[in-house]
């Protein structure tokens, strides 16, 4: 079973590692080089929550979510 059906895992990994690299650069902290499945699952759940919130807030007229 796919733990992250709503995500492109490779792109999320790349984005998370790039943000971590940019944010931690110059602080002498260890660099991240891996992203766990539990991290990806949390991002997936938050993505679904954001979509639900957007749909809930959207007026129920028309056929297009804007």
Higher pLDDT residue, 61 or 10?
Answer: 10
- For the segment 13-60, what is each residue's pLDDT rounded down to a tens digit? 999 999 888 877 767 677 889 999 999 999 999 999 999 999 998 888
Residue 50's pLDDT is 96
d(CA 66, CA 55): 9
pLDDT digit string (tens) for 31-42?
889 999 999 999
Question: Locate tokens 């979509």: which residue?
Answer: 51
Residues 6+ apart with CB under 8 A from 56: none
pLDDT at 1 over 80: no
């Amino acid at each position: 079973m796919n733990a992250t059906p709503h995500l492109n895992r490779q792109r999320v990994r790349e984005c998370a590692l790039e943000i971590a690299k940019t944010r931690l650069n110059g602080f002498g902290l260890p660099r991240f080089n891996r992203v766990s499945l539990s991290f990806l699952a949390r991002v997936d759940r938050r993505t679904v929550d954001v979509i639900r919130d957007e749909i809930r807030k959207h007026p129920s007229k028309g056929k297009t979510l804007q």
